[in-house]
């Protein structure tokens, strides 16, 4: 947990969010500024700032994030037409919240741009 992190605050229920999934290791909630009909952020409870900060011990956690993405995608009926996942890492990628998170985007065709989930 990091005191000044907006996503840690959501997990501590200090900031409201529309939480759609949680377990011992992972929390998922709707993006406040959705870029697609379904736009959900999936994050580890562990405060890892960026993908570059993940450690060898986090490999299983990163796999679990993707299993949860599948589970949520099915719950939101994205399993027929598919979906996109995005992890922005650092400033050039446009990362604005420095608590590692996976964007899950779907519910409309997403163009094949250099994907950050926005303008796609
Ligand atoms: P990124 O560029 O990958 O760091 O994206 C951060 C995402 O977090 C953006 O899509 C924001 O819309 C979203 N976001 C920021 N604050 C909140 C919040 N309080 N609740 C839900 N989503 C948020
Ligand atoms: Zn955090």
**Which run of H or E residues covers position 102?**
strand 102-106
Write down the domain spans for the chain: 1-46
60-106 pLDDT, tens digit per residue, is 999 999 999 999 999 999 999 999 999 999 999 999 999 999 999 99
The count of other CB atoms within 10 Å of the CB of residue 50 is 16
> From CA 18, how far away is CA 10, in angstroms rounded?
10
Q: Which of 96, 104, 118, 119 to mutate for ligand 1's pocket (most ligand atoms within 8 Å of CB)?
A: 96
Give the pLDDT score at 117. 52
- Ligand 1 binding pocket includes 5 (Cβ within 6 Å): no
Q: CA–CA separation, 23 vs 103, rounded Å?
A: 18
pLDDT, tens only, 9-52: 999 999 999 999 999 999 999 999 999 999 999 999 999 999 99
Annotated catalytic, 101?
yes
The answer to whether 33 and 103 have CB atoms below 8 angstroms apart is: no
Split at pLDDT 50, 70, 90, the class of 115 is: low
Q: How many angstroms separate the alpha carbon of residue 111 from the centre of ligand 2?
A: 30
User: Does the domain formed by 1-46 have CATH 3.30.465.10?
Assistant: no
Six-digit token string for 97: 């919240």
| Structure tokens given for 111 | 């163009």
């Amino acid at each position: 947990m990091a005191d000044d992190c907006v996503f840690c605050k959501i997990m501590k229920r200090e900031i409201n969010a529309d939480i759609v999934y949680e377990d011992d290791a992972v929390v998922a909630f709707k993006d406040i500024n959705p870029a697609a009909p379904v736009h959900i952020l999936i994050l580890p409870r562990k405060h890892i700032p960026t993908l570059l900060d993940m450690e060898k011990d986090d490999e299983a956690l990163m796999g679990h994030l993707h299993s949860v993405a599948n589970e949520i995608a099915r719950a939101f009926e994205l399993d027929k037409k598919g979906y996109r996942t995005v992890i922005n890492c650092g400033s050039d990628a446009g990362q604005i919240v420095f608590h590692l998170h996976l964007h899950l985007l779907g519910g409309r065709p997403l163009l094949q741009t250099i994907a950050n989930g926005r303008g796609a």
